[in-house]
Amino acid sequence: MLKVSLLTVGIVAISIALLCIKLIVKPNGKFVSSHISDNKEMQKRGIHCVQSMDKMMRQKNPHKVKEII
């Protein structure tokens, strides 16, 4: 049981170290942002995150015509 626990802790430690190589080696290394609004290709196509799109759609239109019912 102790061998399995030590093996598991060792594998997890190695995995974390491998994931952090870029952070450790580069002076200003950081993880790449996976947020949609930070992606240049998505910005070119006018695609934003769901929260931003919802906020834009909920804004009142100052040019709308008032209808009389």
Q: Write the single-letter amino acid at 6.
A: L
DSSP-derived secondary structure letter, 20? T
pLDDT tens-place string over residues 20-68 = 887 777 777 777 777 887 888 888 888 888 888 888 888 887 888 888 8
pTM metric for this prediction:
0.42
Report pLDDT for 57: 82
Q: What is the pLDDT of residues 4-25, one digit of tens each?
A: 999 999 999 999 988 888 777 7
**What is the reported pLDDT for 38?**
83
* Distance separating alpha carbons of residues 1 and 9, to the nearest angstrom: 12
pLDDT at position 68: 82
